[in-house]
Amino acid sequence: MKLIVKNEATLLAYLYENLPMSKKKIKKYLTLGSIFINNTKVQKYDYKLYPGMTIFIDTKAKKKHTLPFDIIYEDNHIIVINKPSGLLTIATAKEKEKTLYHILREYLIQNKISKNLFIVHRLDKDTSGLVIFAKDEKTKNLLQDNWNELVLLREYCAVIYGNLQEKKGRIEQNLLETKTNLVYISKNKDGKKAITDYEVLKENANYTLLDIKIHTGRKNQIRVAFSSLNHPIVGDKKYGLKEKNIPRLYLHANRLKLYYPYLKKELLFEIPIPKEFKNLVK
């Protein structure tokens, strides 16, 4: 199914107004990753449309039980995927179905792969990258209870505004959280210790691409760290600049090394730096 956009609007509202189908069905296609704008997969309900854009809907995707993201590794105990930006890892009070967990579990059940799925760790909604799920409760408990010992490397890439004076360094902070879920740095050095290492990979006059390694897994740790340096992550509307024309948060979990007890060896999961990150620092 193909449409040419005739007026400025948001994606879900435009499709509901111009297609003979329910909002629930349109949302299902978005969740499945079946809608493409100018040949690019789009899953955000409020994606901005402009006249002349081409919308293509793969109406057969639901029957094929496809996933809107890539599986990086899978065995009898775990499954590792590349989470898209803008997708919740697990359900909240406001959103139950458009989550990484729900989509993956439905896929596993429909394809008769597994009836069970357990969350091991999570990423922020707007952060993309590697997430590990367990297929049984024993594995979930094994990984969660020994997470700090088993996980040997947690590496991210990010694009920040401006240029850093120090091209390589460590940021150590103590973090607290408000009742409204905003993380901030404690001046009294109470709260949870957060340690973030970074190194500049590439930069231009306006942006810098960073390699980031975290030694602690605090909520919003990386986002708060660079916001505190007055170089917030591009697209970070919570701790940075609220620019309307930025399509996503430029933070991506691209490498994770795990000592895997079942195989008794280290596994390195690695995915590329997104193209849009590299394009920003050309």
User: Catalytic amino acids?
Assistant: 124
What span, in angstroms and rounded, lies between the C-alpha atoms of 213 and 219?
Answer: 15
What b-and-e string marks burial along 167-188, b requiring 16 or more CB atoms within 10 Å of the CB? eeeebebbbeeeeeeebbeeee
Range 142-151 burial, b when 16+ CB lie within 10 A, else e: bbeeeeeebb
185 contacts 174 by C-beta, under 8 angstroms: yes
Contacts of 7 (CB under 8 A, 6+ apart): 14, 51
Which of 244, 209, 240, 215 lies closest to 153 in space, CA to CA?
215
Yes or no: say if 48 and 79 are a contact pair by the CB < 8 Å rule: no
Question: CA-CA distance, 143 to 135, in Å (whole number)?
Answer: 12
Q: How far apart are CA 123 and CA 130, in angstroms?
A: 8
Whether residue 246 contacts residue 235, with contact meaning beta carbons closer than 8 Å, is answered with yes
Determine the 3-state secondary structure of 144 from DSSP.
helix
